[in-house]
C-alpha cells in the first residue's frame, strides 16, 4: 500500500530534536513534535530552508515566516483535495498519516456498496470525504463552526458537493444521545477524540471519563449489518494495545474482528521520511470490521 498510492503533495522531509520538517505541496514547514526525540538527519542549515516554522515558548507559540506564503493552499490525495494553512495552534488542518485509515474505510464501503457513516470529532473532514467519495452517506459532527466551514470547503475542492453529507455543529455526546432517542442507525462509526476539549455549548470533554460512555452509545446506534468501527486518537498518552483492548470490550458481541491496534507511523502511511529510514509515530488507533467484509 505504501507505494501504490503515495502522497505526492505531502512529504516528511526530516524529524528530530523535538521537531518535524514537512512539505505540503510546494511549501515547507517546521513544527514541534515531542515524539521526535532523536537527532535530525539533515543539518540545521537545511532545516532553515523551510518557508515557515512554528516554535513554542512555554504554552504559547507563533509562526516565523521566512518567505511569503499564501493564507491557504490546497494539497491532494488521490481524488481528495484539502485546503491547508498554518494555524495559531501549530496545526495545518490536515493529518496526512490518516491516509491509511481513509484507504481502509474506503475499501470496506466500496465492497459493501455504500452505507451510513457517523463521523465524530470530524474536524476538517478527511474521513468524511473519504467515506463520501466511496459512496457512503455521512453525518459529520464537530463542535467547531470553523472546522465545519473548513470541511465544507474541502468538499467543494474535492468535487463532492453532490454527495450526501450532513454537517452538524454539536457536542458529540449530546448528538449521540439524541440519535439514540430518535432510533437512528448507522453502519459504521469513526471517531477521533481529543484528550480534552469543549463541546459546542461549552460542555467539558475528558477522554479518560467520557470515551467509554460515548463508545457504548455509538454501539447502540449500529445497524443490523454493521460494517466497521474506528477509534483514532492523537496525543492521548495511551498505548495502542490499550485502545485495542478498550474497543474489544464493546465489540465482543459483534461478529467481526478487532485489529491488534496500531501506531500510526509515517513509514506505514505512504509518507516515508525522505532524509532517512526513520518513521515518526503519529498517533494510535483501533479498528473493528465485520467478518463478512
Flag whether the pTM goes above 0.75. Answer: yes
Q: DSSP strand E in 85-153: where?
A: 115-120, 136-142
Q: How far apart are the first and last CA of the chain?
A: 19
Q: Which helix (H) or strand (E) holds 102?
A: helix 99-112
H helix count then E strand count, the chain: 7, 17
Cβ contacts of residue 246 below 8 Å, gap of 6+? 211, 212, 215, 231, 286
pLDDT at position 238, please?
Answer: 77
- Nearest C-alpha neighbor of 172 from the set 130, 209, 203, 126: 203
The answer to whether domain 10-84 and domain 96-290 are alike in fold is: no
C-alpha 288/C-alpha 293 separation (Å) is 11
Block residue for cell numbers 432510533 = 183
Cβ contacts of residue 247 below 8 Å, gap of 6+? 215, 229, 231, 258, 261, 286, 287, 288
- Nearest C-alpha neighbor of 215 from the set 180, 165, 259, 169: 180
Q: What are phi and psi of 136, to 5 degrees?
A: -85, 155
Classify domain 96-290 by CATH number: 3.40.50.150
C-alpha 91/C-alpha 32 separation (Å) is 10
Residue 21: CA count within 13 A, CB half-sphere = 22
DSSP 36: -
Q: What are phi and psi of 159, to 5 degrees?
A: 70, 30
pLDDT tens for each residue of the chain, 293 residues long: 344 456 889 999 999 999 999 999 999 999 999 999 999 999 999 999 999 999 987 778 999 999 999 999 999 999 999 999 999 989 999 999 899 899 999 999 999 999 999 999 999 999 999 999 999 999 999 999 999 999 999 999 999 999 999 999 999 999 999 999 999 999 999 999 988 888 877 888 898 899 999 999 999 999 999 999 999 987 667 777 788 888 888 887 787 877 755 655 555 444 657 888 788 888 888 899 997 54
pLDDT at position 261, please?
Answer: 59
Alpha-carbon 121 to chain mean position: 9
Classify domain 10-84 by CATH number: 2.60.40.1180
pLDDT at position 205, please?
Answer: 84
- Domain limits of the chain? 10-84, 96-290
Q: What are phi and psi of 21, to 5 degrees?
A: -115, 115
> Residue 94 has which C-alpha cell?
490536515
pLDDT at position 288, please?
Answer: 93
pLDDT at position 256, please?
Answer: 80
C-alpha 88/C-alpha 12 separation (Å) is 21
pLDDT at position 247, please?
Answer: 87
> Residue 52 has which C-alpha cell?
515557515
pLDDT at position 271, please?
Answer: 60
Amino acid at each position: 500500500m505504501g507505494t501504490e498510492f503515495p502522497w505526492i503533495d505531502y512529504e516528511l522531509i526530516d524529524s528530530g530534536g523535538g521537531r518535524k520538517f514537512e512539505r505540503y505541496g510546494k511549501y515547507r514547514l517546521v513544527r514541534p513534535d515531542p515524539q521526535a526525540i532523536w537527532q535530525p538527519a539533515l543539518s540545521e542549515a537545511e532545516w532553515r530552508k523551510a518557508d515557515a516554522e512554528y516554535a513554542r515558548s512555554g504554552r504559547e507559540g507563533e509562526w516565523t515566516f521566512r518567505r511569503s506564503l499564501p493564507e491557504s493552499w490546497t494539497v491532494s490525495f488521490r481524488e481528495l483535495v484539502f485546503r491547508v494553512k498554518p494555524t495559531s495552534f501549530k496545526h495545518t488542518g490536515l493529518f496526512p498519516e490518516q491516509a491509511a485509515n481513509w484507504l481502509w474505510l474506503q475499501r470496506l464501503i466500496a465492497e459493501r456498496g455504500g452505507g451510513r457513516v457517523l463521523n465524530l470529532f470530524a474536524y476538517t473532514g478527511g474521513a468524511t470525504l473519504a467515506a463520501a467519495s466511496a459512496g457512503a452517506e455521512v453525518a459529520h459532527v464537530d463542535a467547531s463552526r470553523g472546522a465545519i466551514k473548513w470541511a465544507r470547503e474541502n468538499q467543494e475542492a474535492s468535487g463532492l458537493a453532490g454527495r450526501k453529507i450532513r454537517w452538524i455543529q454539536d457536542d458529540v455526546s449530546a448528538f449521540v444521545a439524541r440519535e439514540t432517542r430518535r432510533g437512528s442507525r448507522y453502519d459504521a462509526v469513526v471517531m477521533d477524540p481529543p484528550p480534552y476539549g469543549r463541546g459546542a455549548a461549552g460542555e467539558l470533554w475528558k477522554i479518560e471519563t467520557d470515551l467509554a460512555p460515548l463508545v457504548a452509545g455509538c454501539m447502540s446506534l449500529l445497524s443490523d449489518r454493521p460494517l466497521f468501527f474506528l477509534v483514532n486518537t492523537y496525543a492521548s498518552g495511551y498505548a495502542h494495545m490499550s485502545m485495542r483492548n478498550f474497543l474489544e470490550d464493546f465489540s465482543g458481541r459483534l461478529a467481526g474482528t478487532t485489529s491488534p491496534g496500531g501506531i500510526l507511523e509515517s513509514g506505514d502511511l505512504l509518507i516515508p521520511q525522505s532524509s532517512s529510514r526513520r518513521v515518526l509515530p503519529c498517533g494510535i488507533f483501533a479498528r473493528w470490521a465485520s467478518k463478512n467484509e
